[in-house]
């Protein structure tokens, strides 16, 4: 239940937070922008300010419930934190996002940081390309 999740991370249980969290959990698109979340809530009749969406997302992120990804072209998306770590590949034509995990790359990153004298705290790996054939809606138009 979503209210549990909120309580567990020390956030007050409020209607806007519940709506946002449950939208993130039920949405077909795993990666959503603040704007998208706001629009979808509005369309389903919820009156939730855009500022509240941003506030809630920032809190969820701080609490570790969701992750923020900043792709090129300025788009910032949020994704529910579930399942193991992974990176992303984004179609530059249709914007579709796929996830992947590669142990070899993860290990190399840690080694590289160490070798350069850094304590690795995070990383962002995003591949950009065109998804193939019929899978890419932008290619069929």
Alpha-carbon distances, residue 63 vs 5, 40, 101 (angstroms) = 10, 23, 23
58 binds, among DNA, a copy of itself, none (CB under 5 to 8 A by kind): DNA
Alpha-carbon distances, residue 95 vs 73, 111, 127, 135 (angstroms) = 11, 32, 12, 12
Q: Using CB under 7 A, which of 21, 24, 32, 34 touches DNA?
A: 34
> Taking CB under 7 A as the criterion, which residues in 64-93 touch DNA?
74, 76
Distance CA 141, CA 108 (A): 40
Question: Is 16 among the residues that bind DNA (CB under 7 A)?
Answer: yes
Report the residue number, 13 or 120, with the smaller CB distance to a copy of itself.
120
44 binds, among a copy of itself, DNA, none (CB under 5 to 8 A by kind): none
Strand, helix or coil for residue 95: coil
* Other CB atoms within 10 Å distance of the CB of residue 72: 9
Question: Is 123 among the residues that bind a copy of itself (CB under 8 A)?
Answer: yes
> Taking CB under 8 A as the criterion, which residues in 42-101 touch a copy of itself?
70, 72, 89, 91-92, 98, 100
Q: CB–CB of 81/97 below 8 Å?
A: no
Q: What residues line the site for a copy of itself (CB under 8 A)? A: 70, 72, 89, 91-92, 98, 100, 102, 104-105, 108-109, 112-113, 116-133, 135
């Amino acid at each position: 239940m979503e209210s549990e999740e909120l309580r567990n991370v020390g956030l007050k249980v409020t209607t806007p937070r519940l709506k946002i969290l449950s939208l993130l959990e039920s949405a077909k698109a795993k990666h959503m922008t603040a704007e998208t979340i706001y629009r979808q809530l509005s369309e389903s009749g919820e009156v939730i300010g855009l500022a509240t969406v941003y506030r809630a997302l920032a809190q969820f992120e701080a609490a570790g419930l969701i992750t923020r990804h900043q792709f090129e072209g300025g788009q910032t998306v949020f994704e529910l934190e579930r399942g193991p770590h992974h990176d992303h590949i984004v179609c530059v034509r249709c914007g579709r996002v796929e996830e992947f995990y590669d142990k070899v790359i993860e290990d190399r990153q840690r080694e590289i940081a160490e070798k350069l004298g850094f304590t690795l705290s995070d990383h962002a790996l995003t591949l950009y390309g065109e998804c193939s054939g019929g899978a890419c809606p932008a290619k069929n138009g």
